[in-house]
Homo-oligomer: A and B are copies of this chain.
Amino acid sequence: MKIKISPAEGKLGILIPGLGAVATTLIAGVEAVKKGISQPIGSLTQMGHIRLGKRTENRNPKINEFVPLAQLNDIVFGGWDVYEDNVYQAASNAKVLESSLLDAVKPALEAIVPMKAAFDQNYAKNLRGTHVKTGTRYELAQQVMEDIQNFKEQNGLDRVVLVWCGSTEIYYEASAIHQSLAAFEQALKDDDKLIAPSMIYAYAALKLGVPFSNGAPNLTVDIPALIELSKLTKTPIAGKDFKTGQTLMKTVLAPGLAARSLGVHGWFSTNILGNRDGLVLDDPDNFKTKEVSKLGVLEDIFKPEDNQELYGNIYHKIRINYYPPHGDNKESWDNIDIFGWLGYKMQIKINFLCRDSILAAPIALDLALFSDMAKRAGMSGIQEWLSFYLKSPQTAEGLHPENDIFKQLIKLENTLRYLMGEDLITHLGLDYYDDMFAQEA
């Protein structure tokens, strides 16, 4: 049985709140790939293969030849920012990509000028936005909806998706106004400060049936009000927080330790980075949002409630340090204190010299393409199968998030197989060994 998916015809608009390092790296990269001068490494939708059937069948198509995704040539980018730099200028400031690459796609980048942002400095104290909309939160939401509609019409688009690439907002939890769509819409009208800027974009998108993915750790669409709206308009949502760098490594390594029943006494993680993200996270309120997102992964993977002797007493500490000499070249150092057989202690040290935006850009692309496909497949609400890309995955109420990147990958791949009517893969594989069971003989 195969799910019916509308074909990816016409143009797809990807609209991005926050045209900073990640967004401009994404846009410049897609333009460079279109021109054939670079490759979309790190993007599962562009580079990844998927195994189908038995190992001996040798069926390993590329993912984008297996499921109906939009083509890169059909993508049109746009977005909002608190600064008025066009994408070429913003990319130059971000210093992620070398100038020779940016120059090769300069006209395409210069053509993308940000729309004014819906912004509230209380949510990002270290940013001084000058290119911002005015009005109550209700009015801002209306303006964003108009922006989306205009963008779609002016560019002759068939479909649009939104991907939040803005900064991390200060820490907040869901309150009464976030509990239902009715309460939320009333709060919009009341210009209630408890509505974060990112929620305004999410609301506007969902209202129009436009898929929304959240690359930052802010709650944003992870509130009952907007989940309700996503069901109502039959729109896919995904969040929270692009899984890059240290947390990516953590959700790779921790499952490895858990697989082998190796115990963990402590996990110390430090980061040094010098980009705008680092500056924003130098503020304790913004850092808290990030910290909460990053801290959760170990607990989910190690399940201390079931494994008290191994993981009941982990000291987990995370530090993010603003360190300008490194720019966007975020670097992490982890010290992990583990113990094995009879409690003997061992240590693992991981030093990751990474590039934050280089890791994030293909995630933003994949979320855009997959959420567009989900919409065409009639999938609505929380897309847990996309948690592969996210530090703090949004799940159905009452359901533990799954942070183990390998389980997330199987979930993603089996979802694609399910959609296309292929057998799910269980890795059982006993059938390769015909006379395995003596008793069956």
Contacts and interface: CB of A to CB of B under 8 A. Distances in A.
B439 A427 contact: no
A380 B438 contact: yes
A376 B40 CA distance: 51
Given A268-B321, A414-B428, A337 B326 contact: yes
Nearest to A359: B340
B323 A315 contact: yes
Contact of A342 (B101, B303, B435): B101
Contact of A42 (B260, B325, B352, B407): B260
Contacts of A176: none
A346 interface: yes
A385 B56 CA distance: 17
A276 interface: no
A163 interface: no
A411 B433 contact: no
Given A432-B384, A438-B380, A439-B3, A38 B343 contact: yes
Contacts of A399: 55-56, 432
Given A378-B437, A432-B399, A266 B3 contact: no
Interface string A412-428: 00110010000011111
Given A331-B335, A342-B358, A429-B411, A319 B353 contact: no
A122 interface: no
Contacts of A231: 435
Interface string A377-407: 1111110110010000001101110100111
A47 interface: yes
Contacts of A33: 342
A56 B47 CA distance: 34
A421 to B, nearest CB: 13
Contacts of A40: 341-342
A339 interface: yes
A261 B48 contact: yes
Given A325-B266, A436-B381, A55 B400 contact: yes
Interface of A: 3-4, 25, 29, 32-33, 38-44, 46-49, 55-56, 60, 97, 101, 231, 234, 248-249, 252-253, 255-256, 259-263, 265-266, 268, 270, 272, 303, 306-307, 309-310, 315, 317, 319, 321, 323-326, 331, 333, 335, 337, 339-344, 346-355, 357-359, 361-362, 377-382, 384-385, 388, 395-396, 398-400, 402, 405-407, 409-411, 414-415, 418, 424-430, 432-433, 435-440
